Structure 1
């Protein structure tokens, strides 16, 4: 089934209707999925601070060790597109448990290896588990919560999404200093075991669903290679290669061509791997674009402040993590507020969050070598508020635009949008920063380079405002159409009764 402009207008929040709390089933789903979300997002950031230590411990070059990060990202990109089909085939609960088990076992393997390439292989398997775990968990949540509880469950599980990139480097630094590099992976074992026990105990058995049909193998090859090409090309930027280099543009453009080929095939195939016709729904399409742009602004921007503290202010990894904490605190507070605010005013929440993000970006373009840590902390709290009021409400709006049967197709596509947006933002901002850092020897010169790069973050934040306005306008029109249809129906019934 494809979405249409009038497919599910009743899903839009009604400010006059009091929203009920979460059902017990939805609360249990939140508890389970939170554990998996913490694992996946923490592991994506905690390794970044350990690359130099891994290079020394495993007697390998930093260029080789960089594949510990790259292989994880590529594996996630390759499996994300097939999670919707897999969830239909085996059930979302079974897929979640299997991916969490795979992630946990691969984490143990990462902590036991004694060579760089063995670690890269184990990280690839870990990426496969993590790439399936997050979408499977979201499918479980959306199904358990239903339209009325969707904002609250998305707000709850969004907290680790914004907190772990902030606290991950701190945890990684502490483990490196006091336990050894193996424990940045072995720490996942107790968390994974707890998550598996909770999933098996609290999640209801999968209901028999629709037959997903045969696996679209050709489509899977096209989109997986496309995602890998895009991700790999972007990951090459920021090292020794610029955005216009063959090493970046070659795989990136090849990935775009393959992805375009997948889209054309999906529009004609009887059983496509993903239903790309969902983008015909203007609310889903605009919400997806918001997710993409905020992925770029959020995850791309997150890489700059840690580098500023370490390059310009010469702080260590642990101190840097603590200095980043205000942004996580602001985001966590906003996540708690965003669900209730979304239930009252709908997608206008995203407009407010986008505007706050624009305002919060201003202090960073003025950053200097001796800018007060208190001022930076306050600005980061406000920036966190903007992120928390935008990211998950946009995904919530996207899910509410659809019928329940379309969730399995929507979830991996939203995750891909966010992941690719984050990769593109990171690549662009790092390249811009490197270009302006070149030749800068004094802290003042280096701080100026960061301020110039933050103008790009500011521009991305401004760009994010436009689709949030469109999203709010589409949602408002649907609510008005629903009200008009309801009034017409009541008038017709009254007329019959009078006759």
Structure 2
């Protein structure tokens, strides 16, 4: 019997559903790991390609922008072409993009291939949720969310560790090549297990909206990321793309109220809960994702740790989230999120404050403890806010609301990584230029960071000069963390307007509620 149409007779997840779950979890692990695995490789990319920090950060920014681009396309394409075909195409595109990333010979081609990889990876999670919901039925969504929570919990822990280990024992190419055997297994597994497609074309897709929003965001972020290199807003490389991007985004917002099925249904912002939750998530993600980019870079560039050790030092954050995420998921159905989320944000602010006091030899016990506290707060923040955002929508609005919130998250992540990389690069460039034995010059911070990544480069240079540069670099990181800390404090403002009374769910239409898209 086709698992898509099988009647649900038990709340347990039977063998057929678990086999489908295996396909989805495998794809989710590929996609989520690749968001975190690259974070420890950024300094390696700087050294390999001779690029600025703001430039190599585009390997993450471009990936998350690609995710944001394809999330709204996925639902339409699944109806048009079928979930099995599209899922296999997404796995293939992600795998091909991974192999091309490993073959990149410049930072520009690496960024381009990361975008291609993101276009495939962005479809894996929403498609996986659709496939799982159809296989198990709406009665078992809670259990499915628990299954798909596995890669969400493992990603922040295993990503940096796996990336660091592969760079240490092999080369940076292997953080991408590792996806080749996994992708092949996932393709074969999906072909054998997933039920045959029965595509039913539905609503039209807003191609015009996509052509305005995606290039607009990319143009804005490109202009912003060019600021440290150019040194002034008056440079055409900075202001021209920012102006073009702003006009495209404004044009999209004005246009999006016209089509019947817009790329982003901004009409949903009439729902107060969705609006407040969206603002809270967006501001929080800008701060949290931006800060998340800086943690491994500090361990690598200032403390001189190996990529594997940097990944291991990041693990406490994921462990903290693992503790609180199941508890927060249970409480979200019983306690209004307005009464729990502010306490989680307090934990994040407390943990992040430690990093505003960084120096070149801050205790690892203090830093790892602070990351664990931040993880505790993270686990109690994201899923409860998502639940609040979608709980009071009708069933035919949930899919569009989920798409809207998830795109805002991806955009927030892109903006956060771009802003923090720009600020850090700018702060590091402010240190004093010094002459080198070979007749060239470098700033104190650049000299110190270079000596940590490649100790041979420090030969013949006064050790006190390197130490002064490390102190300056640590201060540059601390100043950048102050911006992230201020943004977390700003998150408290919309969070105070989250529901403090029990919400009445409106999922009472004839159709079963669509499953929310899981976040990366």
Task: Please give the range of the TM-score, normalised by the shorter of the 2 chains.
Answer: 0.7 to 0.9
Distance 1:94-1:295 versus aligned 2 partners, 3 A rule: farther
Asked if 2 retains the 8 angstrom alpha-carbon contact of 1:147 and 1:400, the reply is no
2:309 corresponds to 1:319:
yes
**How far apart in 1 are the matches of 2:284 and 2:119?**
24
Relative to the length of structure 2, the TM-score reads 0.75
Distance 1:231-1:56 versus aligned 2 partners, 3 A rule: closer
Asked if 1 retains the 8 angstrom alpha-carbon contact of 2:256 and 2:265, the reply is yes
Deviation of 1:264 after TM superposition, in Å, equals 2.2
The residue correspondences of 1:184-203 to structure 2 (distance < 5 A) are 184-200=175-191, 203=194
**How far apart in 2 are the matches of 1:404 and 1:352?**
30
Aligned counterpart, 1:226: 216
Aligned counterpart, 1:272: 262
Aligned counterpart, 2:515: none
Asked if 1 retains the 8 angstrom alpha-carbon contact of 2:51 and 2:107, the reply is no
Relative to the length of structure 1, the TM-score reads 0.78
Aligned counterpart, 1:300: 290
Deviation of 1:281 after TM superposition, in Å, equals 1.3
3-state SS of the aligned residue for 2:497?
Answer: helix
**How far apart in 1 are the matches of 2:504 and 2:191?**
40
Aligned counterpart, 2:458: none
Aligned counterpart, 2:495: 468
Gaps spanning 5+ residues in structure 2: where? 1-9, 432-444, 446-467, 508-520
Asked if 2 retains the 8 angstrom alpha-carbon contact of 1:78 and 1:225, the reply is no
Deviation of 1:149 after TM superposition, in Å, equals 6.0
Aligned counterpart, 2:461: none
Aligned counterpart, 1:174: 165
Asked if 1 retains the 8 angstrom alpha-carbon contact of 2:79 and 2:201, the reply is yes
Post-superposition CA distance 1:184-206 (Å, at most 9, x none): 22211222233334444555566
Deviation of 1:21 after TM superposition, in Å, equals 6.7
**How far apart in 2 are the matches of 1:242 and 1:34?**
46
Asked if 2 retains the 8 angstrom alpha-carbon contact of 1:84 and 1:412, the reply is no
**How far apart in 1 are the matches of 2:418 and 2:96?**
31
User: Which of 47, 62, 68 is equivalent to 2:51?
Assistant: 62
User: Which of 229, 236, 248 is equivalent to 1:258?
Assistant: 248
Larger RCO (alpha carbons 8 Å, 6+ apart): 1
Distance 1:62-1:312 versus aligned 2 partners, 3 A rule: closer
Asked if 1 retains the 8 angstrom alpha-carbon contact of 2:76 and 2:203, the reply is yes
2:485 corresponds to 1:458:
yes
Aligned counterpart, 1:395: 386
Range moving further from structure 2, 66-75 or 309-318: 66-75
Deviation of 1:244 after TM superposition, in Å, equals 8.0
Range moving further from structure 2, 433-442 or 302-311: 433-442
Range moving further from structure 2, 437-446 or 315-324: 437-446
Post-superposition CA distance 1:453-483 (Å, at most 9, x none): 322222211222233332223x63547x99x
The residue correspondences of 1:16-415 to structure 2 (distance < 5 A) are 23-24=13-14, 31-50=22-41, 62=51, 72-111=63-102, 122-140=113-131, 153-154=144-145, 157-158=148-149, 160-161=151-152, 163-165=154-156, 167-200=158-191, 203=194, 211-213=202-204, 215-236=205-226, 246-347=236-337, 348-415=339-406
Aligned counterpart, 1:7: none
2:448 corresponds to 1:448:
no
The residue correspondences of 1:471-490 to structure 2 (distance < 5 A) are 471-473=498-500, 476=502, 478=504
**How far apart in 1 are the matches of 2:85 and 2:289?**
30
Deviation of 1:155 after TM superposition, in Å, equals 5.9
Asked if 2 retains the 8 angstrom alpha-carbon contact of 1:29 and 1:202, the reply is yes
| Aligned-residue CA RMSD (Å) | 3.6
Aligned counterpart, 1:8: none
**How far apart in 2 are the matches of 1:130 and 1:250?**
31
Asked if 2 retains the 8 angstrom alpha-carbon contact of 1:80 and 1:412, the reply is yes
3-state SS of the aligned residue for 2:264?
Answer: coil
**How far apart in 2 are the matches of 1:401 and 1:157?**
23
Q: Whose helix fraction is larger, Structure 1's or Structure 2's?
A: 1
Deviation of 1:164 after TM superposition, in Å, equals 3.2
**How far apart in 2 are the matches of 1:451 and 1:90?**
49
Gaps spanning 5+ residues in structure 1: where? 1-19, 483-499
3-state SS of the aligned residue for 1:472?
Answer: coil
Deviation of 1:70 after TM superposition, in Å, equals 5.8
**How far apart in 2 are the matches of 1:270 and 1:307?**
45
**How far apart in 1 are the matches of 2:46 and 2:294?**
23
Asked if 1 retains the 8 angstrom alpha-carbon contact of 2:352 and 2:374, the reply is yes
